[in-house]
């Protein structure tokens, strides 16, 4: 092998540092990707005039459009019939878990993976609790099902879109055109893998997951606040009279919530933070024992004893208590209640947190929230769901399932027309989907604000920034060096072994970095390896697509896995118990299918 050039050494250095930062997780992946791009520009391996070409790439535009359309389908109510049907199934673990996994896989073939999971998560929790199945046995299969389903279509997952875009590029064709991978070209391999994975999960896989009855108890305990509530009476001579009730929260260092105020015998639930304190008021506060003691001592209010409270005392038709899970990248992630001032900004209280099967109530104002945490949020119904959306949280219990009306099916019809136009070759897929978005927003089937909120901007930044970095690896010859190393490792091994190596490398990368970034890095390497052995590079691209989406080994490999970590009470090391054998099953099915089909 020849000595590396300066440009190749620079490209490898940037790539290695980026991979380390991806795996470390201290900086979010979009920041890492953008940093890698800027460093590449200053190092001279990415031309200045091409630095931001990735953001105009058709694949990036398609990913954004799919996210928006997924949101419109999710909010339309057209898919609620699926939820109702699952609730009627027998209370059998195999049947329930199999039906839930198959349903989310079917949805994720045409929706964003996380969107499909978000739609099914409340349904799954309600179904398994009714059937007496621990959520820990069902939620990891649900997350993995959302990943499996995405393998089946072009739009099912970003890696497939990236793979199709790269194939069109090396053929000198237009992405989404008739000469590239079409909507269902991924189906022969992807659908077979997905079906095998679902059968394995339903019959064997869920039994490998630790049964965490304690987490089910933790979620139930989260809703029981009566043991953490106290009533304080405001003396007529209190210096806090005339001050907003938020001053009491400040005196407790942000570690309590005011769940009700009783004034002149009338109880108001979840009072606004600006409500002025009056003499004779009774404030009902919630928090840990120490926080309540601090609030009582610092305010000099009188602690009312002999009172018995019940959870129903703090909810009504207008005021709710809702459990919700914090999404990856949410506004709450990495921040505290004190820093974000949730009550004064959003008009709701966060009363408790459950993390890895344990309920946390002490010093809640100082807890730094993590993705996957389950929170108990309290507030008026008219604001609580808007607050959850703004904070980036997913409610674990849906409001009453509304029956779909005629208008509910309009987004589904628009989506179907866009797919049909693509299949018939009338228009490219990116143009078809952007047109669908314009129709949805223009006809007010999707509010403009929700359109922007539905786009996972970190993913878009990652793709837009990392595509030029991936191109730099090719232009400097770094990709060729990696491919030569793989070829020397494989030697005279048969084709299926080389495909397995490509698939394994893609899977290992996706366990620590985003799967879209994995596709960007591995696609050029796979094509170079294929060309060096005179093999059909389509089979190698399919191997990358399968491997990049098999992020089953860790919770950080994909947002879906992280999203169920809190509700399922999982620990980091739980994922490989199901993920490792599931990966083996998917590879065992994918390799012969790729060889036969491609």
Tens-digit pLDDT profile for residues 482-520: 888 887 777 678 889 999 999 999 988 887 777 888 888
Which alpha helices (H) appear in 25-92, and where do they start and end? Answer: 29-43, 58-76, 80-86
Query: What are phi and psi for residue 269, nearest 5 degrees?
Result: -85, 145
Q: Would you state the pLDDT for residue 401? A: 47
Average pLDDT over residues 75-85: 66
Query: What are phi and psi for residue 275, nearest 5 degrees?
Result: -60, 130
Average pLDDT over residues 345-365: 83
Query: Domains in the chain, start-ordered, CATH in brackets?
Result: 6-51+456-597 (no CATH), 226-314 (3.30.70.1450), 321-395 (3.30.70.1450)
Distances (CA, A) of 159 to 124, 484, 516: 27, 24, 5
Q: What percent of the chain has pLDDT over 70?
A: 92
Has residue 290 got a pLDDT over 80? yes
Specify which of 66-80, 228-242, 559-573 reaches the highest per-range mean pLDDT: 228-242
Q: Would you state the pLDDT for residue 588? A: 95
CB contact at 8 A, 154 and 181: yes
For residue 213, what pLDDT band results from cuts at 50, 70 and 90?
low
CB contact at 8 A, 388 and 395: yes
- Judging by beta carbons within 10 Å of its beta carbon (0-12, 13-18, 19+), is residue 156 exposed, middle or buried? buried
Has residue 402 got a pLDDT over 50? no
Average pLDDT over residues 159-181: 78
Q: Is 299 left (phi over 0), alpha (psi -120 to 50) or beta?
A: alpha
How far apart are the C-alpha atoms of 25 and 562, rounded to whole Å?
13
Short-list 251, 266, 264, CA closest to 338: 251
Has residue 174 got a pLDDT over 50? yes
CB contact at 8 A, 370 and 355: yes
How far apart are the C-alpha atoms of 121 and 116, rounded to whole Å?
9
Q: Would you state the pLDDT for residue 307? A: 79
Q: Would you state the pLDDT for residue 590? A: 95
Q: Would you state the pLDDT for residue 13? A: 92
Pick the range with the lowest mean pLDDT from 70-84, 234-248, 275-289.
70-84
| Mean pLDDT (the chain, rounded) | 86
CB contact at 8 A, 157 and 515: yes
CB contact at 8 A, 223 and 321: yes
Pick the range with the lowest mean pLDDT from 3-12, 400-409, 410-419, 582-591.
400-409
Token code pair at residue 26? 């201290």
Q: What is the largest CA-CA distance in the chain?
A: 90
Short-list 119, 205, 588, CA closest to 398: 119
How far apart are the C-alpha atoms of 228 and 361, rounded to whole Å?
8
Has residue 177 got a pLDDT over 70? no
What do you get for the CA distance between the two ends of the chain, in Å? 31
Token code pair at residue 369? 């929230």
Q: Would you state the pLDDT for residue 27? A: 84
Has residue 178 got a pLDDT over 70? no
Q: Which residue would you say has higher pLDDT here, 559 or 232?
A: 232
Strand (E) or helix (H) holding 455:
none
Q: Would you state the pLDDT for residue 403? A: 47
Integer Rg of the chain from CA: 26
CA atoms within 13 A on the CB side of 6: 3
Beta bridge partners of 232: 283, 303
* pTM of the model as a whole: 0.81
Helix or strand or coil: residue 255? coil
Average pLDDT over residues 545-552: 90
How far apart are the C-alpha atoms of 37 and 43, rounded to whole Å?
10
Q: Which residue would you say has higher pLDDT here, 161 or 406?
A: 161
Q: Would you state the pLDDT for residue 305? A: 85
Q: What percent of the chain has pLDDT over 90?
A: 31
Query: What are phi and psi for residue 267, nearest 5 degrees?
Result: -95, 130
């Amino acid at each position: 092998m020849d000595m590396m050039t300066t440009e190749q050494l620079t490209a490898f250095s940037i790539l290695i540092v980026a991979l380390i930062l991806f795996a470390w997780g201290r900086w979010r992946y979009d920041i890492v990707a953008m940093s890698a791009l800027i460093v590449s520009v200053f190092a001279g391996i990415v031309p200045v005039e091409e630095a931001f070409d990735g953001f105009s790439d058709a694949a990036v535009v398609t990913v954004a459009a799919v996210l928006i359309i997924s949101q419109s389908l999710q909010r339309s109510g057209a898919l609620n019939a699926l939820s109702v049907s699952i609730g009627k199934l027998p209370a059998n673990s195999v049947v329930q878990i199999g039906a839930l996994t198959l349903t989310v896989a079917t949805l994720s073939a045409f929706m964003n993976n996380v969107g499909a999971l978000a739609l099914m998560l409340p349904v799954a929790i309600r179904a398994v609790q009714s059937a007496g199945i621990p959520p820990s046995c069902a939620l990891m299969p649900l997350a993995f099902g959302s990943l499996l389903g995405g393998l089946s279509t072009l739009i099912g997952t970003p890696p497939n879109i990236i793979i199709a875009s790269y194939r069109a590029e090396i053929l000198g064709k237009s992405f989404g055109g008739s000469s590239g991978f079409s909507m269902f070209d991924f189906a022969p391999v992807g659908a077979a893998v997905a079906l095998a994975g679902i059968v394995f999960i339903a019959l064997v896989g869920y039994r490998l997951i630790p049964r965490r009855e304690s987490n089910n108890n933790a979620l139930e305990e989260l809703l029981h606040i009566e043991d953490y509530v106290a009533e304080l009476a405001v003396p007529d001579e209190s210096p806090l009279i005339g001050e907003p009730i938020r001053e009491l929260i400040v005196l407790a260092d942000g570690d309590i919530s005011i769940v009700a105020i009783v004034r002149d015998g009338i109880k108001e639930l979840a009072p606004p933070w600006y409500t002025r304190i009056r003499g004779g008021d009774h404030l009902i506060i919630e928090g840990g024992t120490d926080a309540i003691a601090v609030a009582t001592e610092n305010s000099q209010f009188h602690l009312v004893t002999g009172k018995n409270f019940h959870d129903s005392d703090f909810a009504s038709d207008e005021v709710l208590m809702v459990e919700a899970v914090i999404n990856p990248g949410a506004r709450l992630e990495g921040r505290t209640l004190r820093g974000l001032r949730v009550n004064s900004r959003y008009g709701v209280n966060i009363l408790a947190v459950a993390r890895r099967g344990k309920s946390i109530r002490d010093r809640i104002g100082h807890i730094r929230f993590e993705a996957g945490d389950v929170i108990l949020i309290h507030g008026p119904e008219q604001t609580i769901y808007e607050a959850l959306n703004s904070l980036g949280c997913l409610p674990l219990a849906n409001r009453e399932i509304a029956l779909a009306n005629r208008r509910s099916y309009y987004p589904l019809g628009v989506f179907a027309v866009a797919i049909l136009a693509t299949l018939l070759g009338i228009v490219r897929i990116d143009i078809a989907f952007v047109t669908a978005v314009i129709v949805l927003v223009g006809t007010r089937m999707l509010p403009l604000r929700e359109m922007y909120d539905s786009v996972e901007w970190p993913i878009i930044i990652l793709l837009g920034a990392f595509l030029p970095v991936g191109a730099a690896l090719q232009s400097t010859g770094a990709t060729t060096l990696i491919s030569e190393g793989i070829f020397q490792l494989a030697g005279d091994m048969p084709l299926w072994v080389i495909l397995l190596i490509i698939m394994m490398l893609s899977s290992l990368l996706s366990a620590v970095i985003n799967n879209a970034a994995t596709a960007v890095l591995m696609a050029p390497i796979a094509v170079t390896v294929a060309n060096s052995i005179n093999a059909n590079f389509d089979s190698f691209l399919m191997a990358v697509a399968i491997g990049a989406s098999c992020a089953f080994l860790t919770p950080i490999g994909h947002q879906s896995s992280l999203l169920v970590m809190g509700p399922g009470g999982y620990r980091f090391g739980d994922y490989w118990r199901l993920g490792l054998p599931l990966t083996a099953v998917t590879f065992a099915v994918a390799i012969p299918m790729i060889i036969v089909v491609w």
